[in-house]
């Protein structure tokens, strides 16, 4: 199993140290979140991660079409690829807290498609048309792999059709994995490719503690963030049990964007997950929780369903502590 990691940087110095520790621990990639209103700036931080490491892939997980023009993104990722000696990747999504905290709307899938193709055209051919206007990028050397972070059926198909890789925000219960792979494969076939041509990762959380309950307390803010991002566009075809559809919708509606992914058991979003009785379901879908042996077993179970690459997000206050404690588990997967 391959495992990658991403951070929402609350401190530049901490992020750099986390990147070094993540590389030493054996993570495949180190991603940086894009949420300018709440966390440190994506591209500055990504450059520092690249400078602090030598082996891991590095890039945004993820940026969006709303707050950054495609020529800006293309120039930024080409620069990062140069700084990192070819280790860059570009993660794109429709936009969540970066967009909502400036009172904009997330991109539609057709906008994500045109944005992705424009960035690729700029990186491979030096010119693109986007929104009816031409853009140029005169110096890029190559196009780093582009990953689409998507959650719904149409997004999965789009990613399978046009992206180099997919970051699936769908969960890794067996029914989620089967549906995800089927939809990505349909998109791949539409562009003359096979499923094996697409690099598929699953978004995941890990909460390591002596007991499952203590692990749940730690991970609830992240479960809220994952549920909101995964289900905000609608609950249809998301494999949500009928008896949980109403509380999931209430979580999505009541989610506080200004608190996005902020750690703390008593944060408003964490309390909402607990009060709605969604902890166990969301944890079983998106997280590996408990002591090391339990986490190892859950990861192996996910791999058996077809989720062989997990991409973690570390929202915890003690990010370095998490990386160091998880290292032994990671090296046995």
Give which of 30, 28, 130 is closest to 73, Cα–Cα. 130
In total, the chain counts a number of residues equal to 333
Domain ranges in the chain are 2-206+289-330
Look at residue 65 in the predicted model and tell me its pLDDT: 98
The per-residue pLDDT of the chain, averaged, comes to 96
Residue 308 token pair: 């062989």
| Percentage of the chain modeled with pLDDT above 70 | 100
pLDDT-based confidence at residue 49 (cuts at 50, 70, 90): very high
The answer to whether 88 and 50 have CB atoms below 8 angstroms apart is yes
Residue 113 token pair: 């498609």
Beta-strand pair 199-208/146-150: unpaired
Residue 134 token pair: 């031409």
Rounded to two decimals, the pTM is: 0.93
Residue 189 token pair: 């076939």
Residue 242 to residues 246, 254, 283, Cα–Cα distance (Å): 8, 19, 17
Residue 6 to residue 311: CA distance in whole angstroms: 7
Third-level CATH fold of 2-206+289-330:
TIM Barrel (3.20.20)
The answer to whether 28 and 3 have CB atoms below 8 angstroms apart is yes
Look at residue 263 in the predicted model and tell me its pLDDT: 83
Please name the residue ranges forming H helices in the chain.
12-25, 42-52, 70-83, 97-100, 109-125, 153-162, 174-190, 212-231, 245-254, 268-275, 279-286, 292-305, 319-330
Per-residue pLDDT tens digits for 70-120:
999 999 999 999 999 999 999 999 998 999 999 999 999 999 999 999 999
């Amino acid at each position: 199993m391959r495992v990658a990691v991403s951070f929402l940087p609350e401190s530049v110095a901490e992020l750099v140290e986390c990147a070094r520790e993540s590389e030493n621990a054996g993570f495949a990639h180190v991603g940086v979140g894009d949420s300018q209103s709440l966390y440190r700036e994506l591209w500055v931080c990504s450059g520092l991660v690249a400078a602090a490491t030598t082996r891991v892939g590095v890039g945004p997980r993820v940026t969006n079409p709303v707050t950054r023009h495609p020529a800006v993104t293309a120039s930024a990722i080409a620069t990062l690829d140069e700084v990192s000696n070819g280790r860059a990747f570009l993660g794109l999504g429709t936009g969540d807290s970066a967009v909502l905290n400036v009172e904009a709307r997330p991109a539609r899938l057709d906008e994500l498609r045109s944005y992705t193709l424009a960035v690729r055209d700029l990186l491979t051919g030096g010119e693109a048309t986007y929104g009816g206007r031409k853009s140029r990028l005169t110096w890029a050397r190559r196009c780093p792999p582009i990953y689409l972070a998507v959650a719904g059926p149409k997004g999965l198909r789009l990613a399978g059709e046009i992206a180099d890789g997919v970051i699936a925000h769908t969960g890794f219960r067996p029914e989620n994995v089967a549906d995800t792979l089927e939809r990505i494969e349909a998109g791949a076939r539409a562009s003359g490719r096979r499923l094996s041509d697409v690099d598929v990762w699953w978004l995941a959380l890990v909460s390591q503690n002596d007991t499952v309950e203590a692990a749940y307390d730690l991970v609830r803010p992240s479960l809220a963030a994952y549920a909101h991002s995964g289900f905000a566009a609608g609950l249809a075809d998301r494999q949500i049990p009928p008896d949980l559809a109403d509380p999931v919708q209430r979580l999505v509606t009541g989610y506080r964007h200004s608190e996005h992914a902020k750690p703390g058991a008593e944060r408003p979003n964490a309390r909402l997950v607990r009060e709605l009785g969604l902890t166990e379901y969301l944890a079983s879908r998106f997280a590996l929780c408990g002591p090391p042996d339990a986490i190892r077993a859950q990861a192996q179970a996910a791999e058996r369903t077809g989720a062989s690459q997990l991409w973690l997000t570390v929202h915890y206050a003690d990010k370095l502590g998490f990386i160091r404690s998880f290292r032994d588990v990671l090296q046995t997967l």
